Structure 1
Amino acid sequence: MSTDDLPETFHVTTDEQLRAVSNLTRHRIMAVLRFEPSTITQIAERIGLAKGSSSYHVRLLERAGLIKVVRTRKVRGVTERYYAMAARTLHLPDPGEGGPDVVMRHAIADLEASPADGERHVRQAHLRITDEQFAELGERLHALVAEYRELSDPALPDTTLAFALFHPRSKYKEETK
Protein backbone atom coordinates (compact mmCIF):
# COMPACT_ATOMS: atom_id res chain seq x y z
CA MET A 1 0.00 0.00 0.00
CA SER A 2 1.35 3.43 -0.87
CA THR A 3 0.70 6.53 1.19
CA ASP A 4 -1.34 7.90 -1.73
CA ASP A 5 -4.01 5.32 -0.90
CA LEU A 6 -4.48 6.49 2.70
CA PRO A 7 -7.92 7.57 3.84
CA GLU A 8 -8.33 11.27 4.58
CA THR A 9 -9.32 10.98 8.28
CA PHE A 10 -8.87 8.51 11.11
CA HIS A 11 -11.26 9.02 14.03
CA VAL A 12 -9.69 8.24 17.40
CA THR A 13 -12.50 6.50 19.28
CA THR A 14 -11.07 3.96 21.72
CA ASP A 15 -9.23 4.40 25.01
CA GLU A 16 -6.27 2.47 23.54
CA GLN A 17 -6.05 4.88 20.62
CA LEU A 18 -6.38 7.93 22.88
CA ARG A 19 -3.65 6.65 25.21
CA ALA A 20 -1.40 5.96 22.21
CA VAL A 21 -1.84 9.41 20.70
CA SER A 22 -1.56 11.18 24.07
CA ASN A 23 2.07 10.17 24.60
CA LEU A 24 4.57 12.85 23.53
CA THR A 25 7.11 10.36 22.11
CA ARG A 26 4.42 8.68 20.01
CA HIS A 27 3.19 12.10 18.91
CA ARG A 28 6.70 12.85 17.63
CA ILE A 29 6.85 9.48 15.84
CA MET A 30 3.56 10.24 14.10
CA ALA A 31 4.94 13.66 13.09
CA VAL A 32 7.83 11.88 11.33
CA LEU A 33 5.46 9.46 9.60
CA ARG A 34 3.10 12.18 8.46
CA PHE A 35 5.34 13.09 5.52
CA GLU A 36 6.99 9.87 4.43
CA PRO A 37 7.11 6.20 5.37
CA SER A 38 10.03 5.36 7.65
CA THR A 39 11.65 2.35 9.26
CA ILE A 40 12.17 1.95 13.01
CA THR A 41 15.84 2.89 12.51
CA GLN A 42 14.95 6.05 10.57
CA ILE A 43 12.36 7.02 13.19
CA ALA A 44 14.86 6.48 16.02
CA GLU A 45 17.47 8.65 14.30
CA ARG A 46 14.97 11.36 13.46
CA ILE A 47 13.65 11.85 16.99
CA GLY A 48 16.81 10.95 18.89
CA LEU A 49 15.50 7.82 20.56
CA ALA A 50 17.03 4.37 21.05
CA LYS A 51 15.98 1.86 18.39
CA GLY A 52 14.42 -0.44 21.01
CA SER A 53 12.34 2.40 22.46
CA SER A 54 11.23 3.43 18.99
CA SER A 55 10.22 -0.14 18.24
CA TYR A 56 8.14 -0.30 21.44
CA HIS A 57 6.28 2.93 20.65
CA VAL A 58 5.76 1.97 16.99
CA ARG A 59 4.23 -1.37 18.07
CA LEU A 60 1.76 0.47 20.36
CA LEU A 61 0.79 2.87 17.58
CA GLU A 62 0.37 0.00 15.14
CA ARG A 63 -1.70 -2.03 17.61
CA ALA A 64 -3.97 1.01 18.12
CA GLY A 65 -4.42 1.27 14.33
CA LEU A 66 -2.88 4.75 14.12
CA ILE A 67 0.00 3.69 11.86
CA LYS A 68 0.48 0.78 9.48
CA VAL A 69 3.11 -0.99 7.44
CA VAL A 70 2.95 0.40 3.90
CA ARG A 71 5.84 -1.55 2.37
CA THR A 72 8.57 -4.02 3.20
CA ARG A 73 11.93 -4.91 1.73
CA LYS A 74 14.59 -7.52 2.41
CA VAL A 75 17.93 -6.20 3.64
CA ARG A 76 20.63 -8.81 4.33
CA GLY A 77 18.00 -11.45 5.12
CA VAL A 78 15.97 -9.19 7.43
CA THR A 79 12.57 -7.80 6.50
CA GLU A 80 12.59 -4.04 6.89
CA ARG A 81 9.15 -2.51 7.49
CA TYR A 82 8.20 1.00 6.42
CA TYR A 83 5.49 2.59 8.56
CA ALA A 84 3.14 5.46 7.70
CA MET A 85 0.13 7.09 9.27
CA ALA A 86 -3.15 5.18 8.92
CA ALA A 87 -4.74 8.34 7.49
CA ARG A 88 -3.73 11.82 6.40
CA THR A 89 -5.28 13.41 9.50
CA LEU A 90 -6.34 12.26 12.94
CA HIS A 91 -9.59 13.44 14.46
CA LEU A 92 -9.48 13.44 18.24
CA PRO A 93 -12.57 13.47 20.43
CA ASP A 94 -13.43 16.77 22.10
CA PRO A 95 -11.83 16.70 25.56
CA GLY A 96 -14.91 18.30 27.09
CA GLU A 97 -15.03 21.32 29.32
CA GLY A 98 -11.95 21.53 31.50
CA GLY A 99 -10.43 18.40 29.95
CA PRO A 100 -6.84 18.31 28.70
CA ASP A 101 -6.42 19.12 25.03
CA VAL A 102 -3.83 16.64 23.74
CA VAL A 103 -3.02 18.64 20.61
CA MET A 104 -2.27 21.85 22.51
CA ARG A 105 -0.25 20.02 25.18
CA HIS A 106 1.92 18.43 22.48
CA ALA A 107 2.30 21.75 20.67
CA ILE A 108 3.47 23.46 23.86
CA ALA A 109 5.90 20.61 24.63
CA ASP A 110 7.30 20.79 21.09
CA LEU A 111 7.61 24.58 21.31
CA GLU A 112 9.42 24.36 24.64
CA ALA A 113 11.79 21.73 23.21
CA SER A 114 12.57 23.75 20.08
CA PRO A 115 15.93 25.55 19.88
CA ALA A 116 15.81 28.87 21.74
CA ASP A 117 18.00 30.48 19.10
CA GLY A 118 15.78 29.31 16.23
CA GLU A 119 13.20 31.46 14.52
CA ARG A 120 9.80 31.24 16.19
CA HIS A 121 6.57 33.13 15.71
CA VAL A 122 4.43 32.88 18.84
CA ARG A 123 1.48 35.21 19.24
CA GLN A 124 -1.74 35.35 21.14
CA ALA A 125 -4.51 37.72 20.19
CA HIS A 126 -7.76 38.46 21.97
CA LEU A 127 -10.47 39.43 19.51
CA ARG A 128 -14.05 40.59 19.73
CA ILE A 129 -15.72 39.31 16.58
CA THR A 130 -19.15 38.14 15.48
CA ASP A 131 -20.09 34.47 15.20
CA GLU A 132 -19.89 34.84 11.41
CA GLN A 133 -16.40 36.34 11.62
CA PHE A 134 -15.38 33.55 14.02
CA ALA A 135 -16.54 30.92 11.51
CA GLU A 136 -14.85 32.72 8.61
CA LEU A 137 -11.55 32.99 10.50
CA GLY A 138 -11.68 29.27 11.31
CA GLU A 139 -12.27 28.43 7.65
CA ARG A 140 -9.44 30.72 6.52
CA LEU A 141 -7.00 29.17 9.02
CA HIS A 142 -7.91 25.65 7.84
CA ALA A 143 -7.52 26.70 4.19
CA LEU A 144 -4.11 28.25 4.91
CA VAL A 145 -2.93 25.04 6.59
CA ALA A 146 -4.20 22.97 3.65
CA GLU A 147 -2.41 25.26 1.20
CA TYR A 148 0.93 24.91 3.00
CA ARG A 149 0.46 21.18 3.57
CA GLU A 150 0.35 20.82 -0.22
CA LEU A 151 3.71 22.62 -0.40
CA SER A 152 5.32 20.34 2.20
CA ASP A 153 8.52 18.68 1.05
CA PRO A 154 9.88 15.75 3.12
CA ALA A 155 13.42 16.87 2.27
CA LEU A 156 12.93 20.15 4.14
CA PRO A 157 13.21 20.63 7.91
CA ASP A 158 10.10 20.17 10.04
CA THR A 159 7.93 23.15 10.83
CA THR A 160 5.06 23.02 13.30
CA LEU A 161 2.01 25.23 13.19
CA ALA A 162 -0.45 25.04 16.05
CA PHE A 163 -3.45 27.26 16.44
CA ALA A 164 -6.49 27.31 18.66
CA LEU A 165 -9.49 29.46 17.89
CA PHE A 166 -12.04 29.36 20.68
CA HIS A 167 -14.40 31.36 22.84
CA PRO A 168 -12.91 31.45 26.34
CA ARG A 169 -15.12 31.05 29.35
CA SER A 170 -16.37 34.55 29.93
CA LYS A 171 -17.59 35.90 33.22
CA TYR A 172 -19.56 38.49 31.23
CA LYS A 173 -21.42 35.79 29.27
CA GLU A 174 -22.25 33.87 32.47
CA GLU A 175 -23.62 37.03 34.12
CA THR A 176 -25.87 37.83 31.15
CA LYS A 177 -27.52 34.37 31.08
Structure 2
Amino acid sequence: MLEVAVIDTAAAAAASLEPTRSRLLAELGTPGSATSLAARLGLPRQKINYHLRELERHGLIELVTERRRGNMTERVMRATAQSFVISPSALGGVAPDPRRGVNEFSARWMLAVAARLVQEVGTLLDRSARAHRPLATFTIDSELRFASAADRAGFSTELALAVATLVARYDSPQSEGGRAHRLVLALHPSITRPAETATPADTITPADREN
Protein backbone atom coordinates (compact mmCIF):
# COMPACT_ATOMS: atom_id res chain seq x y z
CA MET A 1 0.00 0.00 0.00
CA LEU A 2 1.26 3.45 -0.94
CA GLU A 3 1.34 6.31 1.57
CA VAL A 4 -0.25 8.74 -0.91
CA ALA A 5 -1.68 8.16 -4.39
CA VAL A 6 -2.75 10.75 -6.94
CA ILE A 7 -6.14 10.44 -8.63
CA ASP A 8 -5.80 11.88 -12.13
CA THR A 9 -9.07 11.11 -13.93
CA ALA A 10 -12.52 12.61 -13.50
CA ALA A 11 -14.16 9.18 -13.25
CA ALA A 12 -11.84 8.02 -10.46
CA ALA A 13 -12.26 11.34 -8.66
CA ALA A 14 -16.05 11.00 -8.83
CA ALA A 15 -15.81 7.44 -7.52
CA SER A 16 -13.66 8.48 -4.57
CA LEU A 17 -15.92 11.41 -3.64
CA GLU A 18 -19.19 9.47 -3.63
CA PRO A 19 -20.07 9.35 0.12
CA THR A 20 -20.37 5.57 0.52
CA ARG A 21 -17.27 4.86 -1.55
CA SER A 22 -15.30 7.53 0.28
CA ARG A 23 -16.19 5.83 3.56
CA LEU A 24 -15.24 2.44 2.14
CA LEU A 25 -11.84 3.79 1.11
CA ALA A 26 -11.28 5.00 4.66
CA GLU A 27 -12.37 1.64 6.10
CA LEU A 28 -10.11 -0.26 3.71
CA GLY A 29 -6.96 1.21 5.18
CA THR A 30 -6.99 -2.27 6.70
CA PRO A 31 -8.14 -5.22 4.57
CA GLY A 32 -11.79 -6.16 4.67
CA SER A 33 -14.46 -8.06 2.78
CA ALA A 34 -17.93 -7.06 1.65
CA THR A 35 -19.34 -9.07 4.56
CA SER A 36 -17.23 -7.38 7.23
CA LEU A 37 -17.76 -3.93 5.70
CA ALA A 38 -21.52 -4.46 5.50
CA ALA A 39 -21.59 -5.23 9.22
CA ARG A 40 -19.52 -2.15 10.07
CA LEU A 41 -21.43 0.26 7.84
CA GLY A 42 -24.89 -1.20 8.36
CA LEU A 43 -25.50 -1.64 4.62
CA PRO A 44 -26.55 -4.68 2.52
CA ARG A 45 -23.63 -6.81 1.33
CA GLN A 46 -24.86 -6.61 -2.26
CA LYS A 47 -24.69 -2.81 -2.14
CA ILE A 48 -21.20 -2.93 -0.65
CA ASN A 49 -20.10 -5.32 -3.39
CA TYR A 50 -21.37 -2.91 -6.06
CA HIS A 51 -19.36 -0.01 -4.62
CA LEU A 52 -16.26 -2.18 -4.19
CA ARG A 53 -16.38 -3.18 -7.84
CA GLU A 54 -16.48 0.48 -8.86
CA LEU A 55 -13.55 1.38 -6.59
CA GLU A 56 -11.55 -1.57 -7.90
CA ARG A 57 -12.34 -0.62 -11.50
CA HIS A 58 -10.69 2.74 -10.95
CA GLY A 59 -7.64 1.29 -9.17
CA LEU A 60 -8.54 2.73 -5.78
CA ILE A 61 -8.68 -0.65 -4.03
CA GLU A 62 -6.98 -3.97 -4.73
CA LEU A 63 -7.45 -7.66 -4.00
CA VAL A 64 -5.47 -8.99 -1.02
CA THR A 65 -6.72 -12.58 -0.96
CA GLU A 66 -9.69 -14.81 -1.67
CA ARG A 67 -11.10 -17.34 0.80
CA ARG A 68 -13.90 -19.88 0.71
CA ARG A 69 -16.94 -19.24 2.88
CA GLY A 70 -19.32 -22.17 2.49
CA ASN A 71 -20.47 -22.19 -1.13
CA MET A 72 -19.11 -18.71 -1.92
CA THR A 73 -15.71 -17.08 -2.40
CA GLU A 74 -15.06 -14.05 -0.24
CA ARG A 75 -12.75 -11.40 -1.67
CA VAL A 76 -10.66 -9.43 0.83
CA MET A 77 -9.80 -5.96 -0.42
CA ARG A 78 -7.72 -3.02 0.72
CA ALA A 79 -7.17 0.56 -0.44
CA THR A 80 -4.22 1.02 -2.79
CA ALA A 81 -3.03 3.97 -0.65
CA GLN A 82 -3.41 5.31 2.86
CA SER A 83 -4.62 8.62 1.46
CA PHE A 84 -5.43 10.14 -1.91
CA VAL A 85 -4.92 13.48 -3.64
CA ILE A 86 -7.03 14.53 -6.61
CA SER A 87 -4.89 15.98 -9.38
CA PRO A 88 -6.11 19.14 -11.17
CA SER A 89 -5.79 17.13 -14.38
CA ALA A 90 -9.07 15.47 -13.37
CA LEU A 91 -10.74 18.86 -13.96
CA GLY A 92 -9.74 18.97 -17.61
CA GLY A 93 -10.01 22.41 -19.20
CA VAL A 94 -10.98 24.18 -15.97
CA ALA A 95 -7.82 23.13 -14.11
CA PRO A 96 -5.82 26.14 -12.86
CA ASP A 97 -2.96 27.26 -15.09
CA PRO A 98 -0.15 29.17 -13.33
CA ARG A 99 0.99 30.56 -16.66
CA ARG A 100 -2.01 32.87 -16.58
CA GLY A 101 -1.67 36.00 -14.46
CA VAL A 102 1.78 35.41 -12.95
CA ASN A 103 1.98 37.37 -9.68
CA GLU A 104 4.25 36.24 -6.85
CA PHE A 105 2.13 38.17 -4.32
CA SER A 106 -1.17 36.58 -5.38
CA ALA A 107 -2.66 33.85 -3.19
CA ARG A 108 -4.64 32.59 -6.18
CA TRP A 109 -1.46 32.24 -8.23
CA MET A 110 0.01 30.29 -5.28
CA LEU A 111 -2.94 27.89 -5.53
CA ALA A 112 -2.41 27.51 -9.27
CA VAL A 113 1.29 26.74 -8.73
CA ALA A 114 0.44 24.25 -5.97
CA ALA A 115 -2.09 22.59 -8.26
CA ARG A 116 0.54 22.22 -10.97
CA LEU A 117 2.90 20.73 -8.39
CA VAL A 118 0.34 18.05 -7.49
CA GLN A 119 -0.28 17.26 -11.14
CA GLU A 120 3.36 17.06 -12.19
CA VAL A 121 4.58 15.07 -9.17
CA GLY A 122 1.64 12.70 -9.57
CA THR A 123 2.64 12.08 -13.19
CA LEU A 124 6.28 11.57 -12.24
CA LEU A 125 5.36 9.15 -9.45
CA ASP A 126 3.32 7.06 -11.87
CA ARG A 127 6.16 6.99 -14.40
CA SER A 128 8.80 6.12 -11.79
CA ALA A 129 6.63 3.29 -10.46
CA ARG A 130 6.20 1.83 -13.93
CA ALA A 131 9.94 2.12 -14.58
CA HIS A 132 10.76 0.66 -11.13
CA ARG A 133 13.05 3.59 -10.46
CA PRO A 134 13.05 6.00 -7.48
CA LEU A 135 11.94 9.60 -7.98
CA ALA A 136 14.48 12.14 -6.73
CA THR A 137 12.69 14.88 -4.77
CA PHE A 138 13.50 17.32 -1.97
CA THR A 139 10.99 19.07 0.27
CA ILE A 140 11.28 21.73 2.98
CA ASP A 141 8.31 22.26 5.28
CA SER A 142 8.80 24.87 7.97
CA GLU A 143 6.85 27.47 9.93
CA LEU A 144 7.96 30.82 11.31
CA ARG A 145 6.38 33.79 13.05
CA PHE A 146 7.02 37.36 11.91
CA ALA A 147 6.95 40.19 14.45
CA SER A 148 5.72 42.65 11.83
CA ALA A 149 4.62 43.00 8.22
CA ALA A 150 7.91 44.78 7.56
CA ASP A 151 9.82 41.71 8.77
CA ARG A 152 7.74 39.49 6.50
CA ALA A 153 8.46 41.74 3.52
CA GLY A 154 12.16 41.79 4.38
CA PHE A 155 12.24 38.00 4.68
CA SER A 156 10.53 37.63 1.29
CA THR A 157 13.03 39.97 -0.34
CA GLU A 158 16.05 38.20 1.18
CA LEU A 159 14.63 34.78 0.34
CA ALA A 160 14.06 35.78 -3.27
CA LEU A 161 17.62 37.10 -3.48
CA ALA A 162 19.09 33.96 -1.88
CA VAL A 163 17.16 31.69 -4.24
CA ALA A 164 18.15 33.79 -7.26
CA THR A 165 21.81 33.56 -6.18
CA LEU A 166 21.63 29.78 -5.82
CA VAL A 167 19.83 29.38 -9.13
CA ALA A 168 22.47 31.47 -10.89
CA ARG A 169 25.22 29.36 -9.30
CA TYR A 170 23.81 25.93 -10.13
CA ASP A 171 21.64 26.42 -13.21
CA SER A 172 23.32 24.82 -16.22
CA PRO A 173 20.91 25.14 -19.15
CA GLN A 174 23.54 24.09 -21.70
CA SER A 175 24.52 20.88 -19.91
CA GLU A 176 23.91 17.94 -22.24
CA GLY A 177 23.74 15.39 -19.41
CA GLY A 178 21.65 17.54 -17.09
CA ARG A 179 17.97 17.36 -16.27
CA ALA A 180 15.59 20.25 -15.63
CA HIS A 181 13.97 20.52 -12.20
CA ARG A 182 11.17 22.77 -10.96
CA LEU A 183 11.65 24.75 -7.74
CA VAL A 184 8.60 26.01 -5.82
CA LEU A 185 8.71 27.98 -2.58
CA ALA A 186 5.52 29.18 -0.88
CA LEU A 187 4.96 31.38 2.17
CA HIS A 188 1.50 31.88 3.63
CA PRO A 189 -0.13 32.54 7.03
CA SER A 190 -0.67 29.39 9.09
CA ILE A 191 -4.22 28.17 9.74
CA THR A 192 -4.71 28.43 13.49
CA ARG A 193 -8.46 27.80 13.89
CA PRO A 194 -10.68 25.04 12.48
CA ALA A 195 -12.93 26.00 9.58
CA GLU A 196 -16.14 25.80 11.60
CA THR A 197 -14.96 28.48 14.06
CA ALA A 198 -12.88 30.68 11.78
CA THR A 199 -13.92 34.22 10.80
CA PRO A 200 -12.63 36.48 8.00
CA ALA A 201 -10.60 38.36 10.61
CA ASP A 202 -8.55 35.21 11.23
CA THR A 203 -6.67 35.86 7.98
CA ILE A 204 -5.40 39.22 9.30
CA THR A 205 -2.75 39.50 12.03
CA PRO A 206 -1.79 42.52 14.14
CA ALA A 207 1.36 42.72 12.01
CA ASP A 208 -0.78 43.01 8.88
CA ARG A 209 -2.69 45.94 10.36
CA GLU A 210 0.50 47.99 10.51
CA ASN A 211 0.23 48.57 6.76
- Contact kept? 1:10, 1:89, Cα under 8 Å: yes
Q: What is the aligned partner in structure 1 of residue 27 from structure 2?
A: 32
- Residues 53 and 91 (structure 1), Cα distance of their counterparts in 2 relative to 1, 3 Å cut: same
Structure-1 separation of matches of 2:56 and 2:188? 40
TM-score (norm 1): 0.51
Q: Specify the alignment match of 1:74 in structure 2.
A: 68
How far apart, in 1, do the equivalents of 2:19 and 2:67 lie?
A: 29
| Match in the other structure for 2:8 | 13
**Root mean square deviation of aligned Cα:** 3.4
- Structure 1 stretches of 4+ with a deviation exceeding 3 A read 94-97, 128-134
Structure 2 residue 79 is matched with structure 1 residue 85: yes
Aligned to 1:23: 18
Which of 27, 48, 52 aligns to 1:54? It is 48
Q: How many residues align?
A: 107
1:120-171 Cα deviation digits (max 9, x unpaired): xxxxxxxx9867573xx57xx9xxxxxxxxxxxxxxxxxxxx979xxx8x9x
Q: 1:1-177 alignment to 2 at 5 Å?
A: 6-34=1-29, 36-94=30-88, 132=187, 134=189, 137=190
Change (3 A) 1:11 1:25: same
Higher RCO structure, 1 or 2 (CA under 8 Å, sep 6+): 1
CA positional deviation for 1:44: 1.1
Provide the rounded CA distance (Å) in 2 between the counterparts of 1:16 and 1:92. 11
Alpha-carbon deviation of 1:7?
2.0
What letter matches 2:76 in structure 1? Y
Q: Using the TM superposition, give the Cα deviation of residue 38 of structure 1 relative to its aligned residue in structure 2, in angstroms.
A: 0.5
Return 5+ residue gaps in structure 1 as ranges.
Answer: 1-5, 98-127, 142-161, 171-177
Q: Are residues 16 and 132 of structure 1, via their aligned partners in 2, closer, same or farther at CA, if it must alter by over 3 Å?
A: closer
Q: What residue is the counterpart of 2:181 in the other structure? A: none
AA partner of residue 72 (structure 1): E
Using the TM superposition, give the Cα deviation of residue 78 of structure 1 relative to its aligned residue in structure 2, in angstroms.
Answer: 2.4
What does residue 151 of structure 1 align with? none
Query: Hey, what's the Cα distance between the residues in 2 that align with 1:163 and 1:28?
Result: 21
CA distances 1:32-75 after superposition (whole Å, capped 9, x unpaired): 112x1000011111111111111111100000110011112222
Aligned partners of 2:47 and 2:69: how far apart in 1? 21
Query: Deviation of residue 28 (structure 1)?
Result: 1.0
Gaps of 5+ in 2: 97-144, 147-151, 153-185, 204-211
Contact in 2 for aligned 1:32/1:46 (Cα 8 Å) = no
Q: How far apart are the structure 2 equivalents of 1:59 and 1:84?
A: 12
